[in-house]
A and B are shown apart, each in its own frame.
Chain A
Amino acid sequence: MSVDLLVLLVLALIAVGAALGMLFSRNVVYAVLFLVLVMLTLAVLYLILGAPFLALAQVTVYAGAIMVLFLFAVMILGPQKLTETGGPIGWQRPLAFGLTALFLAEVVYAFAAKVGGLGALNCANAGFGSPAAIGHLLFNRYLLPFEVTSVLLLVAAVGAVVLTREE
């Protein structure tokens, strides 16, 4: 087992463990922090996969801004006295878990059992995921989506202000 595979295994275990922690934790703040751990683990994985700009963007934007926004919302909404009973349909929760487990087994078999099915990573050339490389593509081939995304962010900011305005 090569070092890369070992590192991937450790990171995968941490990510899946934190995701399960987010799924099963009763305390919402713990769930938020588990999700932050998942995002940080994925940032390390991006770094290994030759995407340094994306790794730091993930830490800054996703874990640093979006999850902090979630924490703000949790603090605004205060302690929730939810009982997590599964709702008015009693059989929904066990059925959801059963179907999800079945889906999980099927997908993991489909991917992990294909030994040598897909190619290996080859991000060996320097400057692969660097800001220069991303900038070259972003401002040439993907200029229109970039501009549309900036308008989308403006709309989202205005929308958030309008929605929470006191009438």
Chain B
Amino acid sequence: MVPTNYLLALSAVLFIIGVAGVLVRRNALVIYMAIELMLNAANLAFVAFAAEFGAVDGQIAVFFVMTVAAAEVAVGLAILVTIFRTRQSIDIDALHRLKG
């Protein structure tokens, strides 16, 4: 069977690619998708540990992460679409109304 640290390394690589996506991209939708990628990487770590210790609790945690991610995507995309309606742009460099 596969040692768990390889799966954790894969989870970390996916997480770091998600972090790079949040830092580098300018399109708010792609930043949002990078956040989803980070959540998926965390899910993989949960499932890997659940398999190593034979505890289904890790899979319950993934279940809750998926549910919260679904709720977050619904509200976040609603906010994004509303912003686009008023500002006509989702470039995050253009969305700086809160700047001092």
Which residues from chain A sit less than 8 Å from chain B, CB to CB?
Answer: 4-5, 8, 12, 15-16, 19-20, 22-23, 28, 31-32, 35, 38-39, 42, 45-46, 49-51, 53-54, 57-58, 61-62, 65-66, 69-70, 72-74, 76-77, 80, 82, 84-88, 92-93, 96-97, 100, 103-104, 107-108, 111-112, 114-123, 125, 128-129, 133-134, 136-138, 141-142, 145, 149, 152-153, 155-157, 159-160, 163-164
Dominant SS at the A interface? helix
Dominant SS at the B interface? helix
Please determine whether B6 and A111 come into contact, CB atoms closer than 8 angstroms.
yes
Closest beta carbon of chain A to B15's beta carbon, Å: 8
A-B contact count (CB 8 A): 240
Closest beta carbon of chain B to A46's beta carbon, Å: 5
CA gap between A152 and B72 in the complex, in Å: 10
What are 30 A-B contacts with C-beta separation under 8 Å? A12-B10, A12-B13, A19-B13, A19-B37, A31-B29, A46-B44, A49-B7, A49-B48, A49-B51, A61-B66, A62-B40, A73-B77, A73-B81, A74-B29, A82-B27, A87-B92, A96-B24, A104-B12, A107-B9, A117-B5, A118-B3, A122-B1, A137-B57, A152-B71, A153-B71, A156-B72, A159-B74, A160-B75, A163-B78, A163-B82
* Chain B residue with the shortest CB-CB distance to A93: B24
Asked if B54 is at the interface of the complex by the 8 Å CB criterion, the answer is yes
- What residues of B have a CB within 8 angstroms of the CB of A61 in the complex? 66, 70
Please determine whether A104 and B13 come into contact, CB atoms closer than 8 angstroms.
yes
Please determine whether B12 and A107 come into contact, CB atoms closer than 8 angstroms.
yes
With contacts A39-B40, A96-B20, A163-B79 known, is A70 near B33, CB below 8 A? yes
CA gap between A160 and B74 in the complex, in Å: 6
- What residues of B have a CB within 8 angstroms of the CB of A4 in the complex? 1-2
Please determine whether A129 and B59 come into contact, CB atoms closer than 8 angstroms.
yes
Interface size on B, residues (CB 8 A): 69
Please determine whether B51 and A100 come into contact, CB atoms closer than 8 angstroms.
no
With A23-B34, A28-B30, A159-B75 known, 10 other A-B pairs at CB within 8 A are A12-B10, A45-B47, A49-B48, A54-B62, A77-B80, A87-B26, A87-B92, A87-B93, A117-B5, A120-B3
- What residues of A have a CB within 8 angstroms of the CB of B8 in the complex? 111, 118
With contacts A77-B29, A111-B8 known, is A123 near B51, CB below 8 A? yes
